Every structure is written in C-alpha cells, then in structure tokens.
Structure 1
Amino acid sequence: MVIREPGFMGSIIWSDEAQFKLNGTVNRHNCVYWGEENPHITIEKAINLPGINVWCGLSSRGLIGPFRFEGTVTGINYLTMLADSIFPAIRALYGNDDFYFQQDGAPPHYHRDVRAYLDQNLSGQWIGRRGPIEFPARSPDLTPLDFFLWGTVKDEVYKRKPRNLDILWNEIQAVCREISLDVLIRCTESVVTRTQNCIDAAGHQFEQY
C-alpha cells in the first residue's frame, strides 16, 4: 500500500485510547531495562484510584480530540463517540479529502455495529481487525500514539500533579493543545522507518534513536 500510494502514510488517522489515573503513574510495561545484576526493585502503587479513559486521533494534519469516555470503554459508547464526536471532528479537519482511519483490535473496536458503521462511512478506507485493511494482531507498538503521544502527554500531565478528575481532564486537553503540528508530522513520517527496523530485526528488540 505504501509503495502503490506514496501519500498513504500521511493520510492515516491513527487512533487509540489510554487511561489516566490520579496517581500520576506512566504505564511502562513494555520497557525492558538491562543490567549486570537483578536489583529486585519493588514498585508500590495504589490500585482502584479514579481515572479517565481518553480517545485521541493523530495525523499529519493535527490531533483529533482528545475525547473523554464516561466509564469503561465499550462497543456501544465507542460507536456513539465515533458518530457524535470523532467523525465530525475528522470532517472538520479533512473536509472532502480522503483519509484512512486506523484502530487496533481491542474488543470495543471489533464490535459488530462499530465495524458496520465504519464500512458504511469509510468503505475500503479503514484499518483494523477484520477491516478492509487488516491491522496485524499482537503487532509491536509502532503507532504514533504508542511510541509518542501517550507517554509524552502523561509525562507532562503528571508533572502538574492534578488533584481531581476535572483538573486532570483540563490538563490532558491543555497538553494536547501544546503539541506542535511539526512534531505530529515527524511522528507520522517515522512510522515507515520504525516498521522497517522491526522487520529487519525479525521482530526482535532493536535500538531506536
């Protein structure tokens, strides 16, 4: 697809959800640290703290959102958000220009009504589980939201030590507004290189500078 359509990567709207907790902890479960000895470090953190589930889209034209879910993300409330918030925002940004909408294989995204909605509104132009362009299962974290956006936003939001959910949400929106378009463009342009590095490493870990 990239070879057949040179502008393909720049036309993708990458999307994902993330959870922000009031404890100010950035989830780095995919990080691996090498050392000569096992430090046997125990990280203590509170559980069941209040938080916010947030959706955001990232493209070479700007961010779409962030949008806030009320409660757990389900197929039904994701579909409602697509129709009421996400797609109107995309249309405002893209007008009549073509774009491809990407989502991963999370259960809410795979909901039958969600896929039907995307088929109806984006015939042949969405990327996801059982979509016209398949999103690979258990793929490495190579989308711009995974390798850049969520970590950047959480790092900055938690520096500000929000005291309640309303302040937390305001800070999330503020940090997203501070990200420049130039940074977003560089992120989208780096996806091909990152993907090729992963292919060259046969799926093993590699250094990314």
Structure 2
Amino acid sequence: MLAKRGTCGPDARRVRLPIYVDPNDPDCGPDPDGSCRLNDNNIEVLPVALEYGNNTLGEHWIFQQDGAKPHAHHLTQKWCRDNFPSFTDKNHWPSNSPDLNPLDYCIWDEFAQCVNWKKVTSKATLIDELKCAVKKIRQDVVLQSCSAWTVRLHRVLKNDGRYLKK
C-alpha cells in the first residue's frame, strides 16, 4: 500500500498496488524459515511500485504490502526498507479488514478493467499486462478510494467494528 505521509482524513492518499507472484513457481518454494523463496520475477515489480508512488505522491509517502509470504520474505522486506521513502514492515501491518482495504473496495475493479485480457496467453504476457495495468489506474480513482477510506472507517466504528453491508 502506498500512503501519503503526514496526512489524515479525506486528504490522505492511499493506494495498494497489486503484485503478482505465481505460487506454483518452483523458485517460489519454502525457505527453511517457512517463508516464500523469491526469484527475480517476484522482486522486479517493486521498482514499478516505487516509480508509481514517487510520480503520484511525491517524495513523502509510505509503502505497505499485505501478509502474503513473498511480501514478508526477508529479502522483500530488506529491498523495501532500502528503497522506499518510508516502509511499514511486516511487524507493523494494521489489522486486515476488507471494508478498510482500498484494494478490496475500489482498486481491484479498476485494475482488472485496465488489463487487456485478450493479450494474456501465458505467464509472461500476464505479468506484462499487469505491469501495464498498474500504470493505467486512474489517479481520480485512487484519490476517491482515499476519500472513501475515512468515511468507511467512521461507518465501521458506528457498526461496532462489524463488516459493512454494501
């Protein structure tokens, strides 16, 4: 997730960028610590997120991923610490709620519409299309998801923390 630092409320900018990892990839098997071993394909999408964040949010933003094993891998965590302006590591991720996850309530739909599914014929073309689609996500959709987040947070609080009904 990308989050504008030093902001809150409707002006906070948050967007989560999807990152594709093939769980059947033989190079993405378990490490001795039980986490997912990474290959070059798994780490090469992070620079795309870095570029997007810098171009969209400027110099002051925070990157965060979800709890997928490749995201929690020590090499991924190190790359993120070393490269992003600010990074929420795996030990400080907030609780998971689809009602408060911009990917779930906003970005995934936009992202899926940006993919040219007719071009996807292999793993390689899927990865290429996903990289292109991330760059096509409209900034107004990203900003709308940010504004919606605060409203959704208040709705969750009024609902005693229970899931929201659409």
TM-score (norm 2): 0.62
Greater RCO (Cα-Cα under 8 Å, separation 6 or more): 2
The match for 1:129 among 73, 77, 90 is: 90
- Which residue of structure 2 aligns with residue 117 of structure 1? 79
Mapped to 2, the partners of 1:11 and 1:197 lie a distance apart of 19
- Which residue of structure 1 aligns with residue 12 of structure 2? 10
Q: Residue type of the partner of 2:45?
A: M
Are positions 1:200 and 2:163 aligned together?
Answer: no
Answer with 1 or 2: which has the greater Rg.
1
Mapped to 1, the partners of 2:58 and 2:119 lie a distance apart of 39
Q: How does 1:1-209 map to 2 (within 5 A)?
A: 5-7=6-8, 10-17=12-19, 53=20, 72=25, 74=36, 76-77=38-39, 78-82=42-46, 84-91=47-54, 93=55, 97-122=59-84, 125-130=86-91, 134-137=92-95, 139-141=96-98, 142-154=100-112, 164-165=121-122, 179-208=137-166
* Root mean square deviation, CA, Å: 4.0
Q: Residue type of the partner of 1:99?
A: W
Name stretches of at least 5 consecutive residues in structure 1 with no aligned partner.
Answer: 18-52, 55-68
- Which residue of structure 2 aligns with residue 24 of structure 1? none
Mapped to 1, the partners of 2:105 and 2:51 lie a distance apart of 26
Hey, which of these two has a bigger chunk of helix by percent?
2
For the Cα contact (< 8 Å) 1:144–1:188, is it kept in 2? yes
TM-score (norm 1): 0.52
Deviation at residue 178 of structure 1 after TM alignment:
5.7
Runs (4+) off by over 4 Å: 69-75, 155-158, 160-163, 166-179
Report how many residues are paired: 149
Deviation at residue 190 of structure 1 after TM alignment:
0.9
For the Cα contact (< 8 Å) 2:45–2:131, is it kept in 1? no
Instruction: State percent identity of aligned pairs.
Output: 20
